[in-house]
């Protein structure tokens, strides 16, 4: 699997390009901003985007949905509990003194246990509410794309609408910490980590 990480937008959200080496089909996780940079990276890798998949609906993770969909024609996927946010990106970004284009509606509404396949790669959807009601992670053997659910040494904030601290901790402990210790966690902001590291070192999970 090809994995490319781009830090996008003023809040430096992590956008991930995942590609199948054999078929060159790809998915983009959290195209939050800087669509032209994402498109250039895809072009350089010779990848064709099949899916645009959102870990949650906050503007810094979905702000480039519109442009990416217009250019690539890829199907857009998000959990139904966060779908309403896609039409509110301009107003939510303005609360932080920033701007974002509203997103087109989703083509696919994700639920816990769903699978997304492109080329020879399959991602499993894990619903992990707490940062937002519709927050999800994406898992394939050895790799977890955690959005703003789990960070290196930290967790997602829970003070925004739809957030709840106890729900987030429960999501992480019940659904993520049971993954193999060596699983790499590709976070929504900041550096990657592993499940083992977070079990040992994350102060929120003790």
pLDDT band per the 50, 70, 90 thresholds, residue 206: confident
Query: Looking at the predicted structure, is the pLDDT value of residue 16 above 90?
Result: yes
Tell me the pLDDT tens digit for each residue of 102-112. 999 999 999 99
pLDDT value of residue 76: 98
Query: Looking at the predicted structure, is the pLDDT value of residue 64 above 90?
Result: yes
Q: Order of strands across the sheet with 25-29?
A: 2-8, 13-19, 25-29, 48-53, 75-78, 108-109
pLDDT value of residue 95: 87
**Average model confidence (pLDDT) across the chain:** 97
Tell me the pLDDT tens digit for each residue of 132-153. 999 999 999 999 999 999 999 9
Q: Give the start-to-end residue ranges of the domains of the chain.
A: 2-205
Query: Looking at the predicted structure, is the pLDDT value of residue 202 above 90?
Result: yes
Task: Confirm if 26 and 49 have CB atoms less than 8 A apart.
Answer: yes
The domain defined by 2-205 carries CATH number 3.60.15.10: yes
pLDDT value of residue 40: 98
């Amino acid at each position: 699997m090809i994995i490319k990480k781009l830090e996008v937008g003023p809040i430096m959200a992590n956008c991930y390009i995942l590609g199948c080496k054999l078929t060159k089909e790809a998915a983009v996780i959290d195209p939050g901003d800087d669509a032209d940079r994402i498109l250039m990276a895809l072009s350089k890798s010779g990848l064709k985007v099949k899916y645009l998949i959102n870990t949650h609906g906050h503007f810094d993770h979905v702000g480039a949905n519109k442009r990416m969909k217009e250019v690539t024609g890829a199907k857009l996927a998000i959990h139904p509990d966060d779908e309403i946010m896609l039409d509110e990106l301009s107003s939510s970004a303005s609360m932080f003194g920033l701007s974002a284009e509203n997103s087109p509606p989703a083509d696919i509404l994700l639920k816990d246990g769903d699978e997304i396949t492109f080329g020879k790669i399959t991602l499993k959807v894990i619903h992990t509410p707490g940062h937002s009601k519709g927050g999800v992670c994406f898992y394939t053997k050895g790799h977890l794309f955690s959005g703003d659910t789990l960070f290196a040494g930290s967790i997602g904030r829970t003070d925004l609408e739809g957030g709840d601290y106890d729900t987030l901790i429960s999501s992480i402990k019940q659904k993520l910490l049971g993954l193999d210790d060596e699983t790499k966690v590709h976070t929504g902001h900041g550096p990657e980590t592993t499940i083992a590291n977070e079990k040992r070192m994350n102060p929120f999970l003790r």
